[in-house]
Amino acid sequence: MATIEYRNVKKVFGDDTVALEDFSLKVEDGEFVVIVGPSGCGKSTALRMLAGLESVTGGEVLIDDEVVNDLTPQERDIAMVFQNYALYPHKTVRANMDFPLRMMGIEKEEREKRIAKTADILDITDYLDRKPKQLSGGQRQRAAMGRALVRDPKVSLLDEPLSNLDAKLRVEIRAEMADLQEKIGLTTVYVTHDQVEAMTLGHRVAVLSQGRLQQCAPPQEIYDHPANLFVATFIGSPRMNVFKATLGRENDGYTLSFGDHILPFQSGRPGDDTDQLEELIDKPVLAGFRPEAFCPADEVDESRRIQGKVENAEALGHELIVYFDAGVEIHLPPEVQAREKDESRRGKQERALVARLPSARPPKSGDDITLGLNTDQVYLFDPDGRAL
Protein backbone atom coordinates (compact mmCIF):
# COMPACT_ATOMS: atom_id res chain seq x y z
CA MET A 1 0.00 0.00 0.00
CA ALA A 2 1.04 3.60 -0.40
CA THR A 3 0.28 7.28 0.08
CA ILE A 4 -0.67 9.55 -2.83
CA GLU A 5 -0.16 13.27 -3.08
CA TYR A 6 -0.93 15.96 -5.63
CA ARG A 7 1.11 19.13 -5.00
CA ASN A 8 -0.15 22.25 -6.77
CA VAL A 9 -0.82 20.22 -9.90
CA LYS A 10 -1.80 21.98 -13.10
CA LYS A 11 -2.88 20.54 -16.43
CA VAL A 12 -3.21 22.60 -19.60
CA PHE A 13 -4.11 21.00 -22.92
CA GLY A 14 -2.64 22.21 -26.21
CA ASP A 15 -5.41 24.69 -27.00
CA ASP A 16 -4.75 26.50 -23.69
CA THR A 17 -7.66 24.72 -22.03
CA VAL A 18 -6.98 24.56 -18.28
CA ALA A 19 -8.27 21.23 -16.98
CA LEU A 20 -6.78 21.46 -13.47
CA GLU A 21 -5.47 24.48 -11.57
CA ASP A 22 -3.45 24.41 -8.32
CA PHE A 23 -4.82 20.99 -7.37
CA SER A 24 -3.47 19.73 -4.03
CA LEU A 25 -4.71 16.58 -2.31
CA LYS A 26 -3.13 13.91 -0.10
CA VAL A 27 -4.50 10.37 0.19
CA GLU A 28 -3.30 8.45 3.22
CA ASP A 29 -2.15 4.84 3.24
CA GLY A 30 -5.22 2.56 2.93
CA GLU A 31 -7.63 5.46 2.44
CA PHE A 32 -10.50 5.43 -0.06
CA VAL A 33 -10.92 8.93 -1.54
CA VAL A 34 -13.63 9.75 -4.07
CA ILE A 35 -13.19 12.65 -6.50
CA VAL A 36 -16.60 13.89 -7.59
CA GLY A 37 -17.84 16.69 -9.78
CA PRO A 38 -19.82 17.48 -12.93
CA SER A 39 -18.67 16.54 -16.43
CA GLY A 40 -15.63 18.54 -17.50
CA CYS A 41 -14.49 19.49 -14.00
CA GLY A 42 -11.09 17.75 -14.33
CA LYS A 43 -11.64 14.66 -12.18
CA SER A 44 -10.71 12.06 -14.82
CA THR A 45 -7.73 14.18 -15.85
CA ALA A 46 -6.50 14.11 -12.24
CA LEU A 47 -6.80 10.31 -12.19
CA ARG A 48 -5.08 9.88 -15.56
CA MET A 49 -2.15 12.04 -14.43
CA LEU A 50 -1.78 9.85 -11.35
CA ALA A 51 -1.81 6.76 -13.59
CA GLY A 52 0.75 8.25 -15.97
CA LEU A 53 -1.67 8.40 -18.89
CA GLU A 54 -1.53 12.22 -19.00
CA SER A 55 1.52 14.44 -18.58
CA VAL A 56 1.69 17.02 -15.80
CA THR A 57 1.91 20.67 -16.89
CA GLY A 58 2.92 21.96 -13.47
CA GLY A 59 3.29 20.75 -9.90
CA GLU A 60 4.14 17.26 -8.65
CA VAL A 61 2.40 13.91 -8.34
CA LEU A 62 3.82 11.62 -5.64
CA ILE A 63 3.31 7.97 -4.74
CA ASP A 64 4.90 6.93 -1.44
CA ASP A 65 6.66 10.31 -1.26
CA GLU A 66 8.35 9.68 -4.63
CA VAL A 67 7.72 12.16 -7.46
CA VAL A 68 6.36 10.09 -10.36
CA ASN A 69 5.82 12.84 -12.96
CA ASP A 70 8.34 11.26 -15.35
CA LEU A 71 7.65 7.59 -14.61
CA THR A 72 5.77 5.39 -17.05
CA PRO A 73 2.46 3.79 -15.97
CA GLN A 74 4.26 0.43 -15.62
CA GLU A 75 6.80 1.94 -13.23
CA ARG A 76 4.18 3.38 -10.88
CA ASP A 77 2.79 0.04 -9.61
CA ILE A 78 -0.83 1.09 -9.93
CA ALA A 79 -3.95 -0.79 -11.00
CA MET A 80 -6.70 0.97 -12.93
CA VAL A 81 -10.30 -0.07 -13.57
CA PHE A 82 -12.09 1.72 -16.39
CA GLN A 83 -15.73 2.41 -17.19
CA ASN A 84 -15.71 -0.07 -20.10
CA TYR A 85 -14.14 -3.01 -18.13
CA ALA A 86 -11.30 -3.45 -20.73
CA LEU A 87 -11.39 -7.26 -20.57
CA TYR A 88 -10.00 -9.36 -23.40
CA PRO A 89 -13.18 -10.86 -24.96
CA HIS A 90 -11.46 -13.99 -26.30
CA LYS A 91 -9.93 -14.91 -22.93
CA THR A 92 -11.58 -16.47 -19.90
CA VAL A 93 -11.71 -14.57 -16.61
CA ARG A 94 -8.85 -16.75 -15.38
CA ALA A 95 -6.77 -15.92 -18.46
CA ASN A 96 -7.60 -12.21 -18.12
CA MET A 97 -6.35 -12.26 -14.54
CA ASP A 98 -3.34 -14.36 -15.44
CA PHE A 99 -2.14 -12.09 -18.27
CA PRO A 100 -0.68 -9.20 -16.17
CA LEU A 101 1.00 -11.71 -13.84
CA ARG A 102 2.71 -13.43 -16.78
CA MET A 103 3.85 -10.03 -18.04
CA MET A 104 5.45 -9.51 -14.62
CA GLY A 105 7.35 -12.81 -14.98
CA ILE A 106 5.68 -14.47 -11.98
CA GLU A 107 5.92 -18.28 -11.77
CA LYS A 108 2.84 -20.34 -12.63
CA GLU A 109 2.26 -21.69 -9.09
CA GLU A 110 2.33 -18.20 -7.58
CA ARG A 111 0.06 -16.91 -10.35
CA GLU A 112 -2.51 -19.60 -9.60
CA LYS A 113 -2.41 -18.79 -5.87
CA ARG A 114 -2.98 -15.08 -6.51
CA ILE A 115 -5.84 -15.72 -8.95
CA ALA A 116 -7.57 -18.09 -6.51
CA LYS A 117 -7.18 -15.66 -3.59
CA THR A 118 -8.40 -12.63 -5.56
CA ALA A 119 -11.31 -14.57 -7.07
CA ASP A 120 -12.37 -15.69 -3.60
CA ILE A 121 -12.29 -12.12 -2.26
CA LEU A 122 -14.39 -10.88 -5.20
CA ASP A 123 -16.67 -13.94 -5.20
CA ILE A 124 -15.95 -14.78 -8.86
CA THR A 125 -14.43 -18.26 -8.40
CA ASP A 126 -17.36 -19.86 -10.22
CA TYR A 127 -16.81 -17.60 -13.25
CA LEU A 128 -13.08 -18.14 -13.76
CA ASP A 129 -13.56 -20.37 -16.80
CA ARG A 130 -16.15 -18.16 -18.49
CA LYS A 131 -15.50 -15.53 -21.12
CA PRO A 132 -16.72 -11.94 -20.64
CA LYS A 133 -19.70 -12.37 -22.99
CA GLN A 134 -20.99 -15.12 -20.69
CA LEU A 135 -21.05 -12.79 -17.67
CA SER A 136 -23.55 -10.22 -16.42
CA GLY A 137 -22.54 -6.58 -16.12
CA GLY A 138 -21.80 -6.92 -12.42
CA GLN A 139 -19.77 -10.09 -12.91
CA ARG A 140 -17.76 -8.41 -15.66
CA GLN A 141 -17.04 -5.46 -13.40
CA ARG A 142 -15.78 -7.77 -10.66
CA ALA A 143 -13.65 -9.63 -13.19
CA ALA A 144 -12.12 -6.32 -14.30
CA MET A 145 -11.41 -5.46 -10.68
CA GLY A 146 -9.90 -8.91 -10.20
CA ARG A 147 -7.51 -8.44 -13.11
CA ALA A 148 -6.41 -5.13 -11.59
CA LEU A 149 -6.08 -6.32 -7.99
CA VAL A 150 -4.40 -9.67 -8.67
CA ARG A 151 -1.14 -7.80 -9.27
CA ASP A 152 -1.15 -6.66 -5.62
CA PRO A 153 -0.56 -3.02 -6.61
CA LYS A 154 0.35 -0.14 -4.35
CA VAL A 155 -2.59 1.95 -5.51
CA SER A 156 -5.97 1.24 -7.08
CA LEU A 157 -7.56 3.80 -9.44
CA LEU A 158 -11.18 3.53 -10.55
CA ASP A 159 -12.64 5.74 -13.28
CA GLU A 160 -16.47 5.71 -13.12
CA PRO A 161 -16.49 1.89 -12.95
CA LEU A 162 -20.22 1.55 -12.25
CA SER A 163 -21.67 3.93 -14.82
CA ASN A 164 -22.54 1.12 -17.27
CA LEU A 165 -24.61 -0.79 -14.72
CA ASP A 166 -28.32 -0.47 -14.05
CA ALA A 167 -29.49 1.27 -10.87
CA LYS A 168 -30.17 -1.90 -8.84
CA LEU A 169 -26.84 -3.46 -9.76
CA ARG A 170 -24.97 -0.24 -8.94
CA VAL A 171 -26.35 -0.41 -5.40
CA GLU A 172 -25.23 -4.05 -5.04
CA ILE A 173 -21.74 -3.44 -6.45
CA ARG A 174 -21.31 -0.32 -4.26
CA ALA A 175 -21.95 -2.46 -1.21
CA GLU A 176 -19.49 -5.08 -2.44
CA MET A 177 -16.82 -2.45 -3.13
CA ALA A 178 -17.22 -0.98 0.35
CA ASP A 179 -16.85 -4.47 1.83
CA LEU A 180 -13.82 -5.15 -0.38
CA GLN A 181 -12.13 -1.96 0.79
CA GLU A 182 -12.59 -3.02 4.40
CA LYS A 183 -11.03 -6.43 3.62
CA ILE A 184 -7.92 -5.35 1.72
CA GLY A 185 -7.41 -1.73 2.82
CA LEU A 186 -5.90 -0.76 -0.53
CA THR A 187 -5.15 2.93 -1.13
CA THR A 188 -7.84 3.88 -3.64
CA VAL A 189 -8.80 6.93 -5.69
CA TYR A 190 -12.26 6.65 -7.23
CA VAL A 191 -13.65 9.10 -9.77
CA THR A 192 -17.38 9.58 -10.35
CA HIS A 193 -19.99 12.18 -11.24
CA ASP A 194 -22.52 10.34 -9.04
CA GLN A 195 -22.76 11.97 -5.62
CA VAL A 196 -24.50 8.89 -4.15
CA GLU A 197 -21.43 6.79 -4.97
CA ALA A 198 -19.21 9.47 -3.50
CA MET A 199 -21.18 9.73 -0.26
CA THR A 200 -21.53 5.97 0.29
CA LEU A 201 -18.03 4.81 -0.67
CA GLY A 202 -15.52 7.48 0.26
CA HIS A 203 -13.67 7.85 3.54
CA ARG A 204 -13.28 11.40 2.22
CA VAL A 205 -14.87 13.16 -0.73
CA ALA A 206 -13.03 15.68 -2.89
CA VAL A 207 -15.42 17.98 -4.79
CA LEU A 208 -14.12 19.54 -8.02
CA SER A 209 -15.56 22.33 -10.14
CA GLN A 210 -13.98 23.93 -13.19
CA GLY A 211 -10.61 22.37 -12.47
CA ARG A 212 -10.36 23.54 -8.86
CA LEU A 213 -10.75 21.62 -5.63
CA GLN A 214 -13.70 23.11 -3.72
CA GLN A 215 -13.62 20.97 -0.57
CA CYS A 216 -12.26 17.65 0.68
CA ALA A 217 -13.74 16.15 3.84
CA PRO A 218 -15.63 13.09 5.16
CA PRO A 219 -19.02 12.67 3.42
CA GLN A 220 -21.17 13.81 6.34
CA GLU A 221 -19.04 16.91 6.88
CA ILE A 222 -19.38 17.78 3.19
CA TYR A 223 -23.16 17.52 3.52
CA ASP A 224 -23.50 19.30 6.87
CA HIS A 225 -20.86 22.00 6.35
CA PRO A 226 -20.36 22.73 2.65
CA ALA A 227 -17.49 25.15 2.06
CA ASN A 228 -19.31 27.16 -0.59
CA LEU A 229 -22.43 27.48 -2.67
CA PHE A 230 -21.28 25.06 -5.37
CA VAL A 231 -20.65 22.24 -2.88
CA ALA A 232 -23.95 22.99 -1.13
CA THR A 233 -25.99 22.73 -4.33
CA PHE A 234 -24.02 19.88 -5.92
CA ILE A 235 -24.08 17.53 -2.93
CA GLY A 236 -27.59 16.49 -1.98
CA SER A 237 -30.52 15.24 -4.04
CA PRO A 238 -32.84 17.00 -4.52
CA ARG A 239 -30.59 20.05 -4.51
CA MET A 240 -30.46 22.63 -1.73
CA ASN A 241 -32.87 25.57 -2.06
CA VAL A 242 -30.78 28.77 -2.25
CA PHE A 243 -32.19 32.28 -2.65
CA LYS A 244 -31.39 35.91 -1.93
CA ALA A 245 -32.40 37.02 1.55
CA THR A 246 -31.83 39.66 4.19
CA LEU A 247 -31.00 38.97 7.82
CA GLY A 248 -32.82 41.13 10.38
CA ARG A 249 -32.94 41.52 14.16
CA GLU A 250 -35.94 40.68 16.32
CA ASN A 251 -35.74 40.59 20.11
CA ASP A 252 -33.22 37.90 21.05
CA GLY A 253 -33.21 36.29 17.63
CA TYR A 254 -33.08 37.06 13.95
CA THR A 255 -35.44 37.22 11.00
CA LEU A 256 -34.88 36.00 7.48
CA SER A 257 -36.62 37.96 4.74
CA PHE A 258 -36.99 36.51 1.25
CA GLY A 259 -39.64 37.25 -1.36
CA ASP A 260 -42.80 38.18 0.57
CA HIS A 261 -41.80 36.02 3.53
CA ILE A 262 -40.33 37.05 6.87
CA LEU A 263 -39.56 34.10 9.13
CA PRO A 264 -37.95 34.01 12.58
CA PHE A 265 -34.49 32.52 12.50
CA GLN A 266 -32.70 31.15 15.54
CA SER A 267 -28.96 30.55 15.29
CA GLY A 268 -28.98 26.88 16.16
CA ARG A 269 -26.84 25.03 13.65
CA PRO A 270 -23.49 23.66 14.90
CA GLY A 271 -20.67 25.99 13.95
CA ASP A 272 -22.78 29.15 13.68
CA ASP A 273 -20.73 32.25 14.48
CA THR A 274 -23.02 34.69 16.32
CA ASP A 275 -20.57 37.59 15.94
CA GLN A 276 -20.47 36.99 12.21
CA LEU A 277 -24.28 36.93 12.08
CA GLU A 278 -24.40 40.30 13.83
CA GLU A 279 -22.20 41.77 11.10
CA LEU A 280 -24.71 40.60 8.47
CA ILE A 281 -27.75 42.40 9.88
CA ASP A 282 -29.60 44.26 7.09
CA LYS A 283 -27.08 43.07 4.50
CA PRO A 284 -27.90 40.86 1.51
CA VAL A 285 -26.96 37.22 1.90
CA LEU A 286 -27.74 33.94 0.20
CA ALA A 287 -29.83 31.61 2.34
CA GLY A 288 -30.09 27.87 1.78
CA PHE A 289 -32.37 25.14 3.07
CA ARG A 290 -32.09 21.44 2.38
CA PRO A 291 -35.37 19.89 1.16
CA GLU A 292 -35.70 18.07 4.50
CA ALA A 293 -35.89 21.41 6.33
CA PHE A 294 -39.54 21.61 5.20
CA CYS A 295 -42.20 19.78 7.17
CA PRO A 296 -46.00 19.53 7.41
CA ALA A 297 -47.44 22.90 8.45
CA ASP A 298 -48.94 21.59 11.72
CA GLU A 299 -45.49 20.69 13.05
CA VAL A 300 -44.44 24.36 13.50
CA ASP A 301 -46.08 27.56 14.65
CA GLU A 302 -47.68 29.94 12.13
CA SER A 303 -44.64 32.24 12.02
CA ARG A 304 -42.62 29.45 10.40
CA ARG A 305 -45.03 28.56 7.63
CA ILE A 306 -44.63 29.30 3.94
CA GLN A 307 -47.28 29.27 1.21
CA GLY A 308 -46.88 28.42 -2.44
CA LYS A 309 -48.38 26.78 -5.50
CA VAL A 310 -47.48 23.21 -6.44
CA GLU A 311 -45.64 22.75 -9.72
CA ASN A 312 -44.94 19.05 -9.44
CA ALA A 313 -44.99 16.24 -6.90
CA GLU A 314 -43.14 12.93 -6.92
CA ALA A 315 -44.51 10.15 -4.70
CA LEU A 316 -41.61 7.75 -4.03
CA GLY A 317 -43.39 5.46 -1.59
CA HIS A 318 -41.24 6.19 1.45
CA GLU A 319 -41.26 9.95 0.87
CA LEU A 320 -42.86 12.75 -1.12
CA ILE A 321 -40.87 15.29 -3.14
CA VAL A 322 -42.81 18.50 -3.81
CA TYR A 323 -41.74 21.32 -6.14
CA PHE A 324 -43.61 24.55 -5.49
CA ASP A 325 -43.49 28.24 -6.38
CA ALA A 326 -43.41 30.48 -3.30
CA GLY A 327 -42.57 33.68 -5.14
CA VAL A 328 -38.86 33.25 -4.41
CA GLU A 329 -36.17 33.34 -7.08
CA ILE A 330 -33.79 30.42 -6.70
CA HIS A 331 -30.12 31.41 -6.88
CA LEU A 332 -28.00 28.90 -8.81
CA PRO A 333 -24.17 28.99 -8.92
CA PRO A 334 -22.73 30.12 -12.26
CA GLU A 335 -21.46 26.59 -12.94
CA VAL A 336 -25.00 25.24 -12.61
CA GLN A 337 -26.52 28.04 -14.68
CA ALA A 338 -24.02 27.35 -17.47
CA ARG A 339 -25.26 23.76 -17.69
CA GLU A 340 -28.87 24.86 -18.08
CA LYS A 341 -29.26 25.10 -21.86
CA ASP A 342 -33.04 25.37 -22.02
CA GLU A 343 -33.93 28.91 -20.94
CA SER A 344 -37.65 28.17 -20.47
CA ARG A 345 -36.83 25.18 -18.29
CA ARG A 346 -34.30 27.19 -16.33
CA GLY A 347 -36.85 29.91 -15.65
CA LYS A 348 -39.16 27.33 -14.16
CA GLN A 349 -36.40 25.81 -12.07
CA GLU A 350 -35.32 29.16 -10.69
CA ARG A 351 -38.70 29.70 -9.04
CA ALA A 352 -39.28 26.21 -7.69
CA LEU A 353 -38.51 25.37 -4.09
CA VAL A 354 -38.23 21.65 -3.39
CA ALA A 355 -39.37 19.94 -0.19
CA ARG A 356 -38.83 16.38 1.03
CA LEU A 357 -41.81 15.30 3.13
CA PRO A 358 -43.12 12.14 4.78
CA SER A 359 -45.05 9.87 2.47
CA ALA A 360 -48.56 11.19 1.83
CA ARG A 361 -51.10 11.63 -0.94
CA PRO A 362 -49.33 13.86 -3.47
CA PRO A 363 -50.90 17.25 -4.20
CA LYS A 364 -51.81 18.11 -7.78
CA SER A 365 -50.07 20.65 -9.97
CA GLY A 366 -51.60 24.08 -9.35
CA ASP A 367 -52.78 23.26 -5.80
CA ASP A 368 -52.07 25.78 -3.06
CA ILE A 369 -49.79 24.38 -0.38
CA THR A 370 -48.67 25.49 3.09
CA LEU A 371 -45.56 23.96 4.61
CA GLY A 372 -43.57 24.46 7.76
CA LEU A 373 -39.92 25.48 7.55
CA ASN A 374 -37.37 24.65 10.24
CA THR A 375 -35.42 27.89 10.02
CA ASP A 376 -32.76 26.68 12.47
CA GLN A 377 -31.51 24.53 9.56
CA VAL A 378 -30.56 27.54 7.42
CA TYR A 379 -27.23 27.80 5.60
CA LEU A 380 -25.87 31.27 4.86
CA PHE A 381 -23.47 32.31 2.08
CA ASP A 382 -22.01 35.66 1.10
CA PRO A 383 -22.84 37.11 -2.35
CA ASP A 384 -19.70 35.41 -3.75
CA GLY A 385 -20.91 32.00 -2.57
CA ARG A 386 -18.58 31.47 0.40
CA ALA A 387 -20.16 29.72 3.36
CA LEU A 388 -20.67 31.94 6.41
Whether residue 370 contacts residue 306, with contact meaning beta carbons closer than 8 Å, is answered with yes
- State residue 347's pLDDT score: 45
Whether residue 284 contacts residue 380, with contact meaning beta carbons closer than 8 Å, is answered with no
- State residue 345's pLDDT score: 44
Strands 187-192 and 18-27: unpaired
Q: What is the pTM of this model?
A: 0.88
Positions of E strands within 132-231: 155-159, 187-192, 204-209, 212-217
- State residue 24's pLDDT score: 98
- State residue 267's pLDDT score: 58
- State residue 346's pLDDT score: 44
pLDDT in tens, 287-298: 999 999 999 999
From CA 329, how far away is CA 259, in angstroms rounded?
A: 8
Per-residue pLDDT of the chain (388 residues; tens, 9 = 90+): 699 999 999 999 987 899 999 999 999 999 999 999 998 999 999 999 999 999 999 999 999 999 999 999 989 999 888 777 778 999 999 999 999 999 889 999 999 999 999 998 888 999 999 999 999 888 888 898 888 888 888 899 999 888 777 778 788 778 878 887 888 888 999 999 999 899 999 999 999 999 999 999 999 999 999 999 999 999 998 989 999 999 888 877 788 999 889 998 865 454 555 677 788 888 889 999 999 999 999 999 999 999 999 999 999 999 999 999 999 988 877 766 655 444 434 445 567 899 999 988 889 999 999 999 998 889 999 888 999 8
Q: Give the residue among 377, 378, 363 at the shortest CA–CA distance from 280.
A: 378
- State residue 342's pLDDT score: 44
- State residue 230's pLDDT score: 94
Cα maximum dimension of the chain: 79
Q: Give the residue among 180, 10, 7 at the shortest CA–CA distance from 81.
A: 180
- State residue 139's pLDDT score: 86
From CA 361, how far away is CA 222, in angstroms rounded?
A: 33
- State residue 344's pLDDT score: 39
Q: Give the residue among 47, 56, 48 at the shortest CA–CA distance from 22.
A: 56
Backbone angles phi, psi at 129, to 5 degrees: -100, 15
From CA 67, how far away is CA 63, in angstroms rounded?
A: 7
